[in-house]
Amino acid sequence: MSRTIYTDGSCRGNPGPGGWAWAEGAAYFGSGYDPQTTNQRMELLAVIEALREISEGDVEIVSDSNYVIKCFHDRWYQGWLRRGWKNSQGQPVANRDLWEQLFALALDSGRTITFRWVKGHSGDPMNDFVDALATEAADQGTGRRS
């Protein structure tokens, strides 16, 4: 059975101070802060940190980030790798450093990692929870762990 982990990223300004968060229920979560980042980097870092923390077993990542979800559902990564880390317009893939970390955790880990999109700010209690944690981290300049 797969564990379900919600993730989210937040940024105050883009770029600006940012926060990331992941949670498996309200009692098991983590969040962190970066003083100068982008929203997309925080979305990626939330997933990376979740998969680092939950390092065994199958995992379903639930995110409101189309950037993260579409990379896996639409297999953007296959084109990036085939083109030598260039996007479909021939430009270098943004945030390659984080994508490489995420691919190692999600594609090369020997376990099944799946991704599901959830609409943000739509009343999903766990999405709202990780959004609040990521926003708190961005605003306060600190993270939390349970």
Domain limits, the chain: 3-140
Residue 109 has pLDDT above 90, yes or no: no
- pTM value? 0.96
Which one is catalytic: 24, 34, 49, 64? 64
Which one is catalytic: 34, 43, 49, 136? 43
Express each pLDDT in 48-91 by its tens digit. 999 999 999 999 999 999 999 999 999 999 999 999 999 999 99
Give me the chain's average pLDDT, please: 96
Extract long-range pairs of 14-19: CB within 8 Å, 24+ residues apart: 14/38, 14/39, 17/138, 17/139, 17/141, 18/42, 18/137, 18/138, 19/133, 19/134, 19/135, 19/136, 19/137, 19/138, 19/139, 19/143
Q: What CATH code is assigned to 3-140?
A: 3.30.420.10
Asked if 97 is an active-site residue, the reply is no
Asked if 124 is an active-site residue, the reply is no
Which one is catalytic: 90, 110, 121, 123? 121
Which one is catalytic: 8, 24, 49, 136? 8
Q: What local confidence, expressed as pLDDT, does residue 136 receive?
A: 97
